[in-house]
C-alpha cells in the first residue's frame, strides 16, 4: 500500500510539473521530527534543534518547490537519523521526474554541508545554496546568496502546515509503515487541494487554512 501511495504521489507531482504548476527551478530540503507514541518500539530519540530538546518519534524529510511550498519528494526515518542521510533518496526522486526544466538552486541548512553533497550538485550544474557548518572563521556570504537563502523558509512553512492543520504534530499511530501511509495521504491531499485552489482562484495555492475554512 505504501509503495502504491508513493508511486501515486510521484505521478501527481509529475503531472503538476507537466502542467507548469510545480517547478524544479529552485527547491529546498529539510527534515522535521514527528513526535511519536512512547510505546512505539520502531521509533527513536532525535534532537530537535528548534525546541532544543530530545523527541521520541520519526523524522519526515522533504524537498519542496519554493514557489508553491509543496512537496516534490518525501522520505522517512527514525528521529535520530541525520538530515544529510536523506539527501540522496530525495534528490534522486526529484531528478527522476521528466521535465525539461533543470534544477538551478538547491537550498539547505548547515545539516547538508558536506563535500559529497556539494560535489553531486555541482556535477549536475545545480547551485548549492547551503550554509557552512562549524568553521574556525565565520563565513562571509555574498548578498545574492543570502537573498536566495531566504527562500528556504518555504520548507519550514510546509512543515508548519503539515503539523498545525493536518494533524501531524503528534502521532497517534504506531510503526513507520503507518507513518508513511498517513504522510503520503496528507501529501497527496495537499497537492490536490493546492491545484484546485489555483484552478478555481479562490485563494493561494499554498493556503490549506483557507481551503479548510471555505469547503470543510
- Residue length, the chain? 216
Of 201, 176, 179, 204, which Cα lies nearest the Cα of 190?
A: 204
Which strand (E) or helix (H) includes residue 91? helix 87-96
Average pLDDT over residues 40-57: 89
Does residue 153 carry a pLDDT above 60? yes
pLDDT above 90 (res 152) = yes
Quote the CA–CA distance of 205 and 158 in Å, as a whole number. 12
Give the start-to-end residue ranges of the domains of the chain.
2-215
pLDDT tens readout for residues 166-207? 666 666 778 888 889 888 988 898 898 888 877 776 655 555
CA distance linking residue 63 with residue 31, whole number of Å = 9
212 pLDDT tier (thresholds 50, 70, 90): very low
Helix, strand, coil percentages for the chain (3-state, nearest 5): 45, 20, 35
Homologous superfamily of domain range 2-215: Ribonuclease H-like superfamily/Ribonuclease H (3.30.420.10)
Average pLDDT of the segment spanning 145-160: 94
Higher pLDDT, 202 or 49: 49
Asked whether residue 144 carries a pLDDT value surpassing 70, the answer given is: yes
Least confident residue range of 30-34, 88-92, 147-151, 202-206: 202-206
For residue 122, give every residue at least 6 positions away whose Cβ sits within 8 Å of its Cβ, in sequence order, or none: 128
CA distance 28 to 152: 6
Amino acid at each position: 500500500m505504501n509503495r502504491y501511495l508513493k508511486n501515486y504521489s510521484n505521478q501527481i507531482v509529475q503531472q503538476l510539473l507537466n502542467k507548469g504548476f510545480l517547478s524544479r527551478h529552485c527547491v529546498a530540503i529539510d527534515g522535521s521530527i514527528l513526535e511519536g507514541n512512547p510505546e512505539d518500539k520502531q521509533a527513536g530519540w532525535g534532537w530537535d534543534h528548534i525546541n532544543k530538546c530530545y523527541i521520541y518519534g520519526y523524522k519526515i524529510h522533504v524537498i519542496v518547490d519554493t514557489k508553491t511550498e509543496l512537496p516534490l519528494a518525501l522520505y522517512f526515518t527514525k528521529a535520530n537519523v541525520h538530515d544529510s542521510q536523506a539527501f540522496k533518496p530525495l534528490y534522486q526522486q526529484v531528478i527522476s521526474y521528466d521535465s525539461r526544466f533543470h534544477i538551478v538552486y538547491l537550498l539547505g541548512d548547515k545539516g547538508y554541508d558536506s563535500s559529497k553533497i556539494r560535489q553531486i550538485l555541482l556535477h549536475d550544474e545545480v547551485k548549492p545554496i547551503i550554509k557552512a557548518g562549524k568553521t574556525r572563521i565565520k563565513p562571509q556570504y555574498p548578498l545574492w546568496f543570502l537573498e536566495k537563502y531566504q527562500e528556504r523558509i518555504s520548507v519550514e512553512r510546509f512543515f508548519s502546515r503539515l503539523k498545525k492543520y493536518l494533524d501531524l504534530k503528534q502521532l497517534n499511530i504506531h510503526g513507520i509503515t503507518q507513518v508513511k501511509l498517513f504522510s503520503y495521504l496528507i501529501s497527496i491531499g495537499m497537492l490536490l487541494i493546492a491545484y484546485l485552489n489555483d484552478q478555481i482562484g479562490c485563494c493561494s495555492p499554498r493556503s490549506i487554512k483557507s481551503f479548510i475554512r471555505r469547503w470543510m
